[in-house]
Amino acid sequence: MTDRYLSVAAAGLHEIEIRRSRFLCALAPVGQEAAAREAIAARRRAEPTARHHCHAFVLGPDGRTQRSSDDGEPAGTAGVPMLEVLRRRGVTDTVAVVSRHFGGVLLGAGGLIRAYGQSVSEALDTVGLVEYRRLRLFDIEVDYTRAGRLENELRASSYSVQETRFEASAHFEVGVLPGEEQRFAAWLAEATGGSSEAVALGEDWVRG
């Protein structure tokens, strides 16, 4: 099981022009195939005059779900090179849709492969990527006399503070990388003089 993966930072659009054909690549973060299909449909509605709406998407932290479509372009010249860019860059939970407005000049199979791949690659560079990490989440409860110092030490440490709550006592939700639980418990005991323990809350994927 993977502990990290990359996805696009946000939805975005990037355009390139090659021999008068316009290639508009839309990227979006998605978590389910239904969301990816809706993003593809949305691009069809947004660019009704485009001749082709080719797409590729990868889903799941391990990239297990992979789909692509040439949408009328010669087989293997659009969806596959788009998907290959996502795979090569290690990007998942992402859909790419390239809408092509034909400029009247045939590009040939090699030209199409380069154009669709370039469109997705440049779009990824423009939109940017973020890392998600699989973390074990813990709740730490301390009294207010120790809360300020502990929060400062947590934020200066390698551990990730996900949430703070101030109720009858202070609570810090902290993310710890798998395999680091014992080291974190020892760190917490030293930081609080043994006055607090970490209560396990489960696991979650957290944006880095």
Contact 6, 131 (CB under 8 A): yes
Note the pLDDT tens digit of each residue in 117-136.
999 999 999 999 999 999 99
Relative to beta strand 129-142, strand 160-166 is unpaired
Residue 114 has pLDDT above 70, yes or no: yes
Q: Are 80 and 54 in contact (CB under 8 A)?
A: no
For residues 196 and 175, the answer to whether their CB atoms sit within 8 Å is no
CA torsion 31→199→166→190, rounded to 10°? -120
| Domain residue limits, the chain | 4-127, 133-207
Does residue 1 register a pLDDT over 70? no
- Find all residues with CB under 8 Å of 194, minimum gap 6, and list them: none
pLDDT at res. 6: 97
pLDDT above 90 (res 195): no
The domain 133-207: what is its CATH number?
3.30.70.240
What is the dotted CATH code of the domain comprising 4-127? 3.30.230.30
Q: Report d(CA 195, CA 142) in Å as an integer.
A: 8
Q: Which residues pair with 203 in a beta bridge?
A: 136
- What is the pTM assigned to this prediction? 0.82
